[in-house]
Amino acid sequence: MTTSGADAPAAAAKPAWRTFRDLPDLLRLLGVRLLSQYAEGLFQAGLGTAIVFNPQRSASPVAIATGLAVLLLPYSVIGPFAGALLDRWDRRRVFIVANLVRALLIAACAGVLASGAGETAIFVVALAVGGAGRFVGSGLSAALPHVVDRPQLVALNSVTTTLGAGATAVGASTAVGLRALFGSDDAGGAGVLACAALIAILGALLSTRFPAGVLGPDHDLSGKHEKPATAFADVAAGLAHGALAAWRAPSVTAALTGMGAHRIVFGFNTLMLLLLTRHHFTDGTLGLAGFGSVAGATAVGMFVAAVLTPISVARWGRRNTVVGALVAACLTQLTVLTMNFAVLVLAAAVLGLAGQVVKLSGDAAMQLDVPDERRGQVFAFQDALFNVTFVSAVAFAAAVVPFDGVCRPLAAAGAVLYALAVGAVVLLYRRTGNAEVGTPEAAGASN
């Protein structure tokens, strides 16, 4: 049954919120997501501030780029392995084991940091932490269709994904506050990481509340105890299958293109912002507080996206929603050329909103238009692709951005990338044969 364009937003939003009350497995999955992403924000910001805003350590463009690469490289390297396992193993079990392993590794990273070891040793342990976290992140998205009905998936995906992103932002903000409490040196950073380890343990405990098998995958796992080596041997094939499944769904390909462009520009802006707040601004916005203000504005934009995306998809379809978000991002990126702190804060909010709208539309496309047996592989392919683009963008920026972070040509290049993405998305959606308009169900069904 479909809903008129005028009534669709209200009809979709009301059941979405009621479902959290009526479906305990959905509420538990949301709880695992919030704890996992809160711990991720706490860990990443705790480690990042220990490297970038630590008076005991340097903060050159190359050092910052290396730190960001280490934090995100596991998403690219471990993501394919996670996809292979998530489509074979009980996802409940993966959540439990991965959260416990992550807690142990975060504690180890805290110990290495407290000892005053160099960045190399810290980064090695941080790589392992990110790898364990990737199993949880990919599994959360792949499991959602198992705990909600298809007609509610677009709205609930928007709510859960954005709440999770908000939890990451809150975790990062908490890390900033804890740094003020524990101190800005290595010992203070270790204290923040210890708190992140405790949150990861809570995520593992909550995961035990799921019945076995309720989170998928769909196929019968009884009697099939495949060795990890077997799954790892299928990684290359899994990536190929994930890429092929994404290509066969034009709505997924278009969203991936838009998100890829956003991740590249986000990489440019992130490095410039870190250097600007550390070395350029001298009017009271210098340092961690300035970076936190921009990060907070980004989080606000992402929260607004959770409200706007289901309404926009229901009224105008996923194609027009993605194109509109990318156009807004392109125009907003031009304001970054001012290198004015107040303008950057406002731009961060709009770019956060636009990027999250594209991401939510892409997640919905993958959950609606990709078969369950390929869904984990597609999400793993997405993780690998977008984190490779982000890390590559940061590495490129590190080679061209000066020490104070002022690089207007790079900001302009970001606007050009957004414009190119708009054209690519329009062309890719022509493969569907018809525009995606109307209800979320129609938007999801159209290929």
> What H or E segment, with its residue span, contains residue 312?
helix 288-335
- Domain assignment present for 4: no
- Reading the block at residue 234, the tokens are 């299928």
pLDDT, residue 233, reads: 63
CB 44 within 8 A of CB 109: no
pLDDT, residue 283, reads: 57
Count of domains for the chain = 1
12 has pLDDT over 60 = no
Percent of the chain at pLDDT exceeding 70: 81
pLDDT, residue 431, reads: 72
Q: How far is residue 289 from each of residues 50, 65, 162, 195, 272, measured CA to CA in Å?
A: 14, 20, 24, 21, 16
- Domain assignment present for 7: no
Containing domain of residue 402, as a range?
Answer: 21-218+227-445
pLDDT, residue 377, reads: 76
pLDDT, residue 442, reads: 38
- Domain assignment present for 25: yes
Percent of the chain at pLDDT exceeding 90: 32
- Domain assignment present for 8: no
- Reading the block at residue 316, the tokens are 């105008």
CB 245 within 8 A of CB 371: yes
* pTM given for the model: 0.70
pLDDT, residue 230, reads: 60
Q: pLDDT tens-digit profile of 381-439?
A: 887 787 788 888 988 998 899 988 899 999 999 999 999 999 999 998 887 654 444 34
- Domain assignment present for 370: yes
**What is the average per-residue pLDDT within 372-387?**
78
* Span between the terminal Cα atoms of the chain, in Å: 19
∠ Cα 109 112 118 (to 5°): 115
- Domain assignment present for 425: yes
Q: Domain with 325 in it: what CATH number? A: 1.20.1250.20
- Domain assignment present for 85: yes
CA 139 – CA 107 distance, rounded (Å) = 23
Nearest 5°: phi and psi at 3? Answer: -125, 145
pLDDT, residue 241, reads: 78
6 has pLDDT over 70 = no
CB 139 within 8 A of CB 25: no
pLDDT, residue 438, reads: 39
Nearest CA to 37 among 170, 153, 135? 170
* Lowest-pLDDT range of 137-141, 177-181, 406-410: 137-141
Q: pLDDT tens-digit profile of 199-217?
A: 999 999 999 999 888 887 8
pLDDT, residue 77, reads: 65
Nearest CA to 275 among 44, 53, 41, 45? 53
**What is the average per-residue pLDDT within 178-186?**
85
Q: Which residues contact 269 (CB under 8 A, 6 or more apart)?
A: 336, 351, 411, 414
- Domain assignment present for 1: no
